[in-house]
Amino acid sequence: MRIIAGEYRGRILKSPNDNRTRPTSDRLRETLFNIINPKISAVTRFLDLCAGTGAVGIEALSRGAAFVTFVDKSRRSCGLIEQNLDLLSVPEDETEIVCAAAENFTNRKHPAPWDIVFFDPPYQAEYSMVLRDFGDSESELLSDEGILIVEHHAKNALNDAYGKILRRRLVKQGETCLSFYEKA
């Protein structure tokens, strides 16, 4: 797995030796960032939810995001993310690693909203609890102009709306989909 563009372009990331983590492919990451790159700036706060290796969040940093929060429930994955950040010498003040289940992380208050959220849970997982947290009328997880991207299997049909967030775009690549949600 490699970083596609930006400051860390071409650098190879460490990957797990097992099949428990399903990393986002280079091709799908390239498609994703071709779409969201105009939204990334030196003030962008990015959330990589169910981060796995951290490749998507690291790609966001490489392309100029100011700060990335990596969340994964696996201590092993959190350790791997830390190794990848160290490998690239990413400054500590640009990242945060949280070892927690996605639904536990989104169900609590945070000091500031995120501008871009990438949510990539295991395909067999239940997505709705986390999506409802983002769509809750009291939620401050997503900034007003923010975007939530959900990677899911094509057979896992997601709703067009969860509370105050609406799907604005659906991109299919093989059996994988990216659903793009924004505030209504």
Q: What is the mean pLDDT of the chain?
A: 93
Residue 8 CA, chain-centre distance (Å), reads 18
Helices of type H across the chain:
26-36, 55-62, 75-87, 102-106, 128-135
Domain 26-183 has CATH 3.40.50.300: no
Residue 123: pLDDT band by 50, 70, 90 thresholds?
confident
Which pLDDT score, from 0 to 100, does residue 137 have? 85
Say what the pLDDT of residue 124 is.
73
pLDDT in tens, 58-82: 999 999 999 999 999 999 999 999 9
Going from N- to C-terminal start, the domains of the chain cover 26-183
Q: What is the pLDDT of residues 79-114, one digit of tens each?
A: 999 999 999 999 999 999 999 999 999 999 999 999
Q: Which residues contact 149 (CB under 8 A, 6 or more apart)?
A: 32, 36, 116, 117, 118, 119, 178, 179, 180, 181
Residue 21 has pLDDT above 80, yes or no: no
pLDDT category at 167 given cuts 50, 70, 90 is: very high
Angle between helices 55-62 and 75-87 (to 10 degrees): 30
Backbone angles phi, psi at 133, to 5 degrees: -60, -40
Specify the amino acid at residue 12: I
